[in-house]
Amino acid sequence: MESLAAGLPVSQHSSFLFPTKPKRSKSYPCSWSSRTRTSQFTRLHCQKMYVPGFGEASPEAKAAKNLHNFFTYIAVRIVAAQLQSYNPEAYKELMEFLGRHPLNDGDKFCANLMRESSRHKGLALRIIEVRSAYCKNDFEWDNLKRLALKMVDESNTRLMREYVLETSQVESEK
């Protein structure tokens, strides 16, 4: 392998160290291209990164699951705020239920709420309706993408700036 890697330009050594695993999906089209110098090496160029360690689900599927649970949390907050003003008794029951059951898994929370009592079943159905309406009509998907990209860019810039300042001070002290 060393003799083979020695003949490659530096830019292609990374393919030996970090091989990409192609996704075989219509949503990730790949194209085959050959090196122009020799026909000895044929590489696969995909438009998306391979992300190891996610098993059956993609990172996007994991993010969707977290958003789904977050939408349940939002729906519970909305319903609780509504109940607080016009039905204090139902608000108290919902808060007591929240104290006994975690909201980590939105579907499990709603299923448990439905099975608590007929009154709780009505609350669960309301939460499910609000969750759906919020996701479809009120959540600003474009704003999510814009904010996520902005946060990543700003964080990367800040981390790199801090590192450069830290390392340049250490070297200037020597």
Pair of tokens at residue 147: 């904010």
Amino acid 71: pLDDT: 97
127 torsion bin: left (phi>0), alpha (psi -120 to 50), beta (else): alpha
Helix (H) or strand (E) holding 88: helix 88-100
Q: Give yes or no for a contact between 145 and 138, defined as CB atoms under 8 angstroms apart.
A: no
User: Mind listing the domains of the chain with CATH numbers?
Assistant: 9-46 (no CATH), 64-138 (1.10.1200.210)
Q: In this model, does residue 127 exceed pLDDT 60? A: yes
Q: In which band, very low, low, confident or very high, does the pLDDT at 174 lie, cut at 50, 70 and 90?
A: low
The position carrying tokens 């590192």 is: 163
Segment 132-169, tens digit of pLDDT? 999 999 999 999 999 999 999 999 999 999 999 999 87
Calpha distance 136→67 (Å, rounded): 13
In sequence order, the 6+-apart residues with CB closer than 8 A to the CB of 69 are 103, 104, 105, 106
Q: In this model, does residue 96 exceed pLDDT 70? A: yes
Calpha distance 119→73 (Å, rounded): 20
